[in-house]
Amino acid sequence: MNTGRRRLLTAVCTVAGAALFVYVVRRAGAAEIIDGIRRVGWGLVVLLLLAGFRFILRSQSWRLCMPDASRLPLGRAFQAFLAGDSVGNVTPLGLVASEPTKVFLSRHHLATRDAVASLAAENVIYAASVATMVSVGLLVVLLTVPLPSTWRWSLAAALAAIAVAVVAGQRLLRGTWDESRGSRPRWREQVAAVRQAVAAFSQGQSGRFQRAYALDLVYHATAVLEVFLTLRWVLGDPASPLSGEGGAGRITLSQAIAFEALNRVVIVAFKFVPFRVGIDEALTGAAAPLLALDPAAGITLAVVRKVRNLFWTGVGLAIIAAHPAQSASPAEPPSGSGPARQP
């Protein structure tokens, strides 16, 4: 896709998302949403710190996937990771834009080939953690929310689809191409490159794989805590009309898990929409009644999350602006370097 088409896609997605945002806010009640945001108050600082901690967790997970010769400090990894995430947020390109940014900003400490390989391995591990988070969310909803049979069968089918996707992904990563069929298609070449990166990382390093996966699970757990606190503050007024059947102050862990699982799905499915403007608000607001909350409470949660994203995206873009554009390439790691080290 050329630059002109990318800009057009970005503009169309942004305008459509903004229109959807205005629609769902007006339908739910702008006054109630503004009132809920006001109740969060200084709690927003806590939410921003939790979001920053989550970036640190992903950065450390990335470092665990790096080879022994790398010397990328956690602070530098955090800056590169945050900047890459910011670029992915403001463009419709997602990983196509975010991962090269991380490679570029880590080039002083990490050879390009090692940066690409470690990011590929970390993304595979993170994808596994996302599948776990969404599966847990679906199970929680099935076990705690009274739903029509059609919905229950749909959620069960989604769980089965995740299981099938995980098995298919493992099969692709193991390699299934028969060389007698000729050269691989381009997309299989890309899968093969990821497979080689993951294999190079995981060889004799299953413990590091498990630790990186555990860090990503903590990342999701921290996100659940963020949702839980946000909704508690949003519904902090006993007279709040946003609490629905649940009532103010009765936010449960299962509700927070369900909302965060939905958030993971939205991020994956609508990464091409900058900041997922309108999409997050519409889907979170639609899910709220199923979890015994007023739609305005779900929309308020999404708006607060948007404020948090805007803040950290601004920090990430500032890091890019302050980074020197010209520099010598990093030295290649010594030949025969060992497996990933313990940072």
**Number of CB atoms found within 10 A of residue 180's CB:** 5
Higher pLDDT pick, 2 / 22? 22
What pLDDT does residue 260 have? 95
pLDDT of 4 higher than 80: no
Closest by CA to 99, choosing from 74, 126, 69, 134, is 126
Q: Where are the alpha helices (DSSP H) in 42-144?
A: 43-64, 74-90, 95-105, 112-144
Q: Which residue has the tokens 């709220």?
A: 288
- Domain assignment present for residue 18? The answer is yes
Domain that holds residue 95: 10-322
Does any domain span residue 333? no
In a domain, 5, yes or no: no
CB 216 within 8 A of CB 59: no
Tell me, yes or no, whether 112 lies in a domain: yes
pLDDT at 94 over 80: no
Contact assessment for residue 72 and residue 299, using Cβ atoms and an 8 Å cutoff: no
CB 201 within 8 A of CB 117: yes
Residue 296: inside a domain: yes
Report residue 310's pLDDT band, with 50, 70 and 90 as the boundaries: very high
Higher per-residue pLDDT: 14 or 333: 14
Q: What average pLDDT does this structure show over 133-139?
A: 94
- Dihedral, CA atoms, 266, 232, 238, 283, nearest 10 degrees? 0
Over residues 137-163, the pLDDT tens digits come to 999 999 998 888 888 898 899 999 998
Most confident of 72-81, 215-224, 245-254: 215-224
Structural element, H or E, at residue 294? none
* pLDDT tens-digit readout, 37-47: 888 989 999 99
Q: Helix H segments across 235-278? A: 253-269
User: What's the rounded mean pLDDT across residues 7-15?
Assistant: 72
List the structure tokens of 180: 């007698």
Contact criterion met (CB below 8 Å) for 117 and 197: yes
Instruction: Please count the CA atoms within 13 angstroms of the CA of 57 that sit on its side-chain side.
Output: 21
pLDDT for position 217: 96
pTM score, whole prediction = 0.83
Range with top average pLDDT, 79-93, 153-167, 215-229, 295-309: 215-229
Mean pLDDT over 306-312 rounds to 93
Kindly state whether residue 3 falls inside one of the protein's structural domains: no
Q: Classify residue 264: in a domain, yes or no.
A: yes
Q: Give a yes or no: residue 315 inside a domain.
A: yes
How many domains are contained in the chain?
A: 1
What percentage of residues in the chain have a pLDDT greater than 70?
A: 76
What would the mean pLDDT of 238-264 be, rounded to a whole number? 73
Q: What is the mean pLDDT of the chain?
A: 80
As a whole number of angstroms, the distance between CA 124 and CA 56 comes to 18
